[in-house]
Amino acid sequence: MKLLDGSVTAPLGFLAQGVNAEIKSKNKKDVGIIYSICPATAAGVFTQNKVRAACVDISQEHLRNNQAQAIVVNSGNANACTGSRGWNDALKTAAITAEALDIQKNDVLIASTGVIGGFLPMDRMEKGIRSAAAELSQAGAVNLANAIMTTDLRSKEIAVEFDIQGHSVRMGATAKGSGMIHPNMATMLGFITTDALISASCLQAALKASVDVSYNMVSIDRDTSTNDAVMILANGKAGNPVIDDVNSGDMKKFQEALDYINIAMSKMIARDGEGATHLLEIKAENAADIQTARMIARSVASSNLVKTAIFGNDANWGRVLCAAGYSGADFLPDKVDVFIGDIQVAKDGCIFDFSEEEVKPFLESETVLIKIDLKSGDKNALAWGCDLTYDYIKINADYRT
Amino acid sequence: MKLLDGSVTAPLGFLAQGVNAEIKSKNKKDVGIIYSICPATAAGVFTQNKVRAACVDISQEHLRNNQAQAIVVNSGNANACTGSRGWNDALKTAAITAEALDIQKNDVLIASTGVIGGFLPMDRMEKGIRSAAAELSQAGAVNLANAIMTTDLRSKEIAVEFDIQGHSVRMGATAKGSGMIHPNMATMLGFITTDALISASCLQAALKASVDVSYNMVSIDRDTSTNDAVMILANGKAGNPVIDDVNSGDMKKFQEALDYINIAMSKMIARDGEGATHLLEIKAENAADIQTARMIARSVASSNLVKTAIFGNDANWGRVLCAAGYSGADFLPDKVDVFIGDIQVAKDGCIFDFSEEEVKPFLESETVLIKIDLKSGDKNALAWGCDLTYDYIKINADYRT
């Protein structure tokens, strides 16, 4: 597997574009399209919030035949809590996109992100969609990556190439996150493209498994959104023998590439969490089972008190143990060792005589690693988060007004 | 029922004191005792965190016979994650207190609050306990209320008097909260005294029911502590006919008084949340069942995004609906109305044309009321929280170092 430049248009047969439609502001890109030159096998995972935007339900509906050819996305307005008018606006968004691209309406997936509870300005949406459709290109992926940002500071792009039985296969992705991120099924917007030829059932299985170890292990603020979605399009243009056995070596390679990409995106999202100054990587290791490891890693990554301690460069390992304790996981507190970077700070659930000086560089590093060794088995899990800072408050105290 | 001055020494036969033992600092009170002149019927509810301080386990053990005569408490050091030495220190704390008061060791309940993962300075603890024991008085309740504070800005005290079959009965309480507060069984330290005569089973039932509608409905930062405990002592000095039937009118009166006191304490704790500038009162009403109402009210009161919006005086009702949506409760989003103060801001889960000007005074008031009308039944629940502010970050980024 090797890294490629670019993102969603790195695989063969994909084009993209992002434009300014004055939904977010007068000059930021806010409407974009990802397009495959032929219908692609498609899969998605979506928010588990009971309050769901129309675009989530409609995209799920459009994925029933496991096929899609385009994703249309806007930022600046989530089109959530907008009732039947919002539902019609989302349907119209798909219809305009289908018409502009000359494809089937139900081959269009929709995603929206931004403020909840405002109607989409459909005139501007339509103008934006038509303009993005008219300007689709390989180079347009950069603009698409920008068009999906809300409070993100950086756009998030990645692409890789790997081999399936002598055929080069490419996979690319872009994502947005920043706020309202919490592990619960899909946790933000993530779009993945690949030119691999793969069956619908393998694609869905790979996506689900991958999201469980990536997007679902990211927490910025424990709030799951009404619009979270991760979608993947696989158009088969690589010409590889079809991947249609979940237990095959080819599937394993595909899964590895997908996990690599989704974990990279997840870490970028965590690092770019609202107001973040540190990426927080939590490893729960040697758990009796994988669920225990995941619950503990996520709980520690989600704790406001751990996150403020990291902001303050404070080796407050008691808060780490405490967050493990209320994770809901069953474990033996008296066996737990805690490490910050390379330095052990707690042993057997108890004070360990460590040097604050030695821990300091690990707390000051951009990525702070906390390891919780449960010494009860051999299952491991990683979770990512960020510190909780003054800027998180600033960003969220005046987001809407 | 009428309000009395004072707190835990307002009921007959109770004395208290708080002193400085140099555990928290050179001049703040940090060790205290609540004492009943005779053994009292006692009950408690404790943290559900898997990582529990020794004082929690030992107090539960000492409550097995439903009897206690004193509570000894220190702030500044939680004596949690301190292994067998911490366990022995907690036992020694009980033993010193018992000796100083000339009572049974297992009639002493223990509570500690403060930093996790440091050993108690037992020489200073002993000095503090002996000095508090020597100076017990009715007036000492004020010092006790101060001695249990950590990052609390205000001490919390209340007392009431009510009538049981012509006998005046008194009940008083003090509590501490501020950080690491989240609904999960007991959520902070709360001490209640009463001179009512009541059976052990009625006392435990009343406490459990009361905590469910008070302390368990408070959220500051979703972190449940290793040391949370609510304890009640009932010494029978009021001379009322014993309350020993959970379905009796007397039990109902006792429950009303206890709920009144615990809800008042809970609101004081939420209002005094770390960095708080607003008390947040969330009412979920007309739910199909009480669990749904509670889950939704707590979820909204716990949302970082709702809390930052309140700090910013922002009528961001979308975040309210979103937090209800990920509460785990089953409800129909399309039926939900949302009100801020008296002003409706969402109708049937959707945008409602409200005036930002009219909402403003309700957002600027010290107590911000948010009502979520589920229109699906007749069950209601209240939860309390506070806004999330720059000062929460400040307090928690440098708490330990």
**A119 vs B contacts (CB less than 8 Å):** 351
Percent of chain A with pLDDT over 90: 77
Alpha helices in A303-399 (DSSP H): 304-311, 317-325, 356-364, 390-397
- Give domain limits for chain A: 2-269, 279-397
HSE-up of residue A325 (Cα within 13 Å, Cβ side): 29
Backbone angles phi, psi at B166, to 5 degrees: 85, -5
The confidence band for B393, taking pLDDT boundaries of 50, 70 and 90, is confident
Residue A184 predicted with pLDDT over 80:
no
CB of A215 within 8 Å of a chain B CB? The answer is no
Which residue of the set A9, A97, A150, A187 is catalytic? A187
Task: For residue A51, give the chain B residue with the closest CA.
Answer: B325
Closest by alpha carbon to A68, among A154, A184, A192?
A: A192
More confident residue, B363 or A302: B363
Percent of chain B with pLDDT over 70: 95
pLDDT of residue B222: 55
The confidence band for B354, taking pLDDT boundaries of 50, 70 and 90, is very high
pLDDT of residue A188: 84
pLDDT of residue B223: 60
Considering chain B, what is the average pLDDT of its residues?
Answer: 92
**B119 vs A contacts (CB less than 8 Å):** 351
**A350 vs B contacts (CB less than 8 Å):** 81-83, 86, 117
In angstroms, rounded to a whole number, what is the distance separating the alpha carbons of residues B155 and B173?
11
pLDDT of residue B184: 34
DSSP state of A336: -
Structure tokens at B121: 């300075």
**pLDDT tens digit string along B233-285?**
999 999 999 999 999 999 999 999 999 999 999 999 988 877 889 999 999 99
Instruction: Determine how many CB atoms are found less than 10 A away from the CB of residue A190.
Output: 31
**Cβ–Cβ of A117/B351 closer than 8 Å?**
yes
Q: Do domains B2-269 and B279-397 have the same CATH topology?
A: no
**pLDDT tens digit string along B272-313?**
877 889 999 999 999 999 999 999 999 999 888 899 889 999
| CATH code linked to domain B279-397 | 3.10.20.340
Residue A186 predicted with pLDDT over 50:
no
pLDDT of residue B388: 87
CB of B353 within 8 Å of a chain A CB? The answer is no
**A319 vs B contacts (CB less than 8 Å):** 116, 223
To test the contact with chain A by mutation, choose from B396, B399, B400, B401 the residue with the greatest count of A C-beta atoms within 10 A, namely B396
CB A184 within 8 Å of CB A227: no
CB B32 within 8 Å of CB B19: yes
**Cβ–Cβ of A312/B50 closer than 8 Å?**
no
pLDDT of residue A220: 56
CB B310 within 8 Å of CB B280: yes
Predicted complex ipTM: 0.80
**A221 vs B contacts (CB less than 8 Å):** 304-305
- B/e letters for B156-186, b = 16+ CB within 10 Å, e = fewer, are bbbbbbbebeeeebbbbbbbbbbbbbbbbbb
The confidence band for A182, taking pLDDT boundaries of 50, 70 and 90, is very low
**Cβ–Cβ of A330/B393 closer than 8 Å?**
no
CB of B153 within 8 Å of a chain A CB? The answer is no
Task: For residue A183, give the chain B residue with the closest CA.
Answer: B326
pLDDT of residue B273: 78
**pLDDT tens digit string along B61-85?**
999 999 999 999 999 999 999 999 9
pLDDT of residue A178: 63
CB of A371 within 8 Å of a chain B CB? The answer is no
pLDDT of residue B305: 84
Q: Which of B305, B312, B349 lies nearest to residue A223, judging by beta carbons?
A: B305
CB A270 within 8 Å of CB A279: yes
Q: CA A16, A19, A23, A28: dihedral to nearest 10 degrees?
A: 120
Residue B168 predicted with pLDDT over 80:
yes
**pLDDT tens digit string along A247-283?**
999 999 999 999 999 999 999 998 887 788 999 999 9
**Cβ–Cβ of B350/A316 closer than 8 Å?**
no
Instruction: Determine how many CB atoms are found less than 10 A away from the CB of residue A204.
Output: 19
A 25-64 near B (Cβ less than 8 A):
48-52
Distance of CA A296 to the CA centre of its chain: 20
pLDDT of residue B179: 56
**B331 vs A contacts (CB less than 8 Å):** 50
**Cβ–Cβ of A311/B80 closer than 8 Å?**
no
For residue B123, what are the CA distances in angstroms to B20, B84, B109, B129? Answer: 13, 18, 20, 10
pLDDT of residue A44: 97
pLDDT of residue B390: 85
Q: Which of A51, A222, A400 lies nearest to residue B321, judging by beta carbons?
A: A51
CB A396 within 8 Å of CB B390: no
Residue B178 predicted with pLDDT over 70:
no
**pLDDT tens digit string along B117-166?**
889 999 999 999 999 999 999 999 999 999 999 878 889 999 999 999 99
Of the candidate CATH numbers 2.40.30.170, 3.60.70.12, 3.20.20.70, 3.30.50.10, the domain formed by B2-269 belongs to 3.60.70.12
Write the single-letter amino acid at B79. N
In sequence order, what DSSP letters do the residues of B200-235 get, joined into one string?
A: HHHHHHHHHHHHHTTGGGB-SSSPPPSS-EEEEEE-
Residue B227 predicted with pLDDT over 50:
yes
DSSP state of A249: H
In angstroms, rounded to a whole number, what is the distance separating the alpha carbons of residues B312 and A397?
4
Is residue A187 annotated as a catalytic residue, yes or no? yes
